[in-house]
Amino acid sequence: MTLCRAAVCAIVVSVSGGCAFQGLNSLPLPGTVGRDAGAVTYIVEIANVGTLEPNSPVLISDVTVGSVDKLDVDNWHATVEVSVEPDVVVPENAVATIGQTSLLGSMHLALNPPLGEPPRGRLAPNATLPLNKSSTFPSTERTLSSLSTIVNGGGLGQLSDIIDESSAALSGREEQVRNLLTRLDEIAGVLADQREDVVVTLEELNDLSGTLSQSSDVIDAAIRKIPAALDVLVRERPRITAALDRLRTFSDTATGVINDTQDDLIRNLQNLEPVLHSVADLGPDLATVLAYLTTFPFTQNVIDRGMKGDFMNLFVTLDLTYPRIKRTLALGTRFAEPHARLVPAPGDPWFENYTYDPLGSTVIPPAPATSPTPSTQPDPGAEPPPGLSGPILPIAPPTQWRSDNGAAPQGQIFAGPYPGAR
């Protein structure tokens, strides 16, 4: 009898030394889903399993499709082996989440696609979901603990005071607050429409910041020199003030002069308009003249056709003496003839009288002789027409610009008339 007891004890010790018993949850419980023959196994790596136990349900879209087979620890994180019914399709993009099934503390493991994504494909059997595809929801204990912190030491008791103060601040200003919210909504819309411009502006500010960062030594030197420059400005402050005061006086004087001469200035500008139009009309010729000045006294045609080398010799005798200028360039002007009369332009006083001067009037030649028409026969006994002995004037000489004796004045003729002239 003693020998049998010793043998039984030895067998029990050897069996207990070769395996360990972790409670009833380590054994498949009756009615557990996913423990039938042909069940598919998956491995889930997760950082925190909470109170998850073997035989906990595995859910897909809130439907139990399997159970947790066993839990283990590998490299400071938990590995959960789950068994799923063979006809269940686990999405290829599934993520594992551990949550609390009820307030009593039971946990479950869910295999669902990410929020907002549809299921895609099928996860291969014996596949492993890594740590970046698993998470754990806060437990009831942790949620209540955080809520206790807020209630006891988080200032929740001051919420009533905040609400009362906000109500007092907004009371009677509902319309202004409504308008403010409307304007804020419009501003948000404008910013949303200008999102690309805002991004570009921020990128340019980033580039500017980088440029300033690279020029930090220059900026530091400039900042060090600014105080000395400010000291110079402080010392020169009286002179700067005096200069600005004199500039103010000059500005007042210039303003008065412009106001007093405004009408004359406008009239001069209006009178200058025909001259500017004439200069504008001479635009193409003016460009040609300016081009000719660079090659004076040769034209570009002479340079292109006559100069076959890089240079040309020119010997010029230039006489700019007063007698020579009077006899050449100034001939016919008052510079050469001080008492010469000015030739009036059309529209000037005495222009018509000057035109009827025999020395300045245009002579109209007689009309060419024409043969008589067949219907009109010349009269053999008629007297011949008188011959032309002088210029034929187009119209009769006017009398409004003549003097009483019928002769034009011999004095100097100026362009005008001028205001106040008699």
Distance between first and last Cα of the chain: 168
Q: Residue 342: which of 256, 240, 415, 268 has the closest Cα?
A: 415
Confidence of residue 392 (pLDDT cuts 50, 70, 90): very low
Confidence of residue 310 (pLDDT cuts 50, 70, 90): confident
Peptide bond between residue 297 and the one before it cis (omega within 30 degrees of 0): yes
Comparison of pLDDT for 376 and 316, the residue scoring more: 316
Predicted confidence at residue 414, as pLDDT, reads 42
Predicted confidence at residue 398, as pLDDT, reads 47
**Quick check: 237 pLDDT over 50?**
yes
Backbone angles phi, psi at 58, to 5 degrees: -110, 125
Predicted confidence at residue 281, as pLDDT, reads 85
**Quick check: 250 pLDDT over 50?**
yes
- The stretch 206-235 carries a mean pLDDT of 91
**Quick check: 72 pLDDT over 70?**
yes
**Quick check: 386 pLDDT over 90?**
no
98: number of CA atoms within 13 Å, CB side?
28
**Quick check: 320 pLDDT over 80?**
yes
Please say whether the beta carbons of 55 and 84 come within 8 A: no
Beta strand 134-136 pairing with 95-100: parallel
Q: pTM of the prediction?
A: 0.35
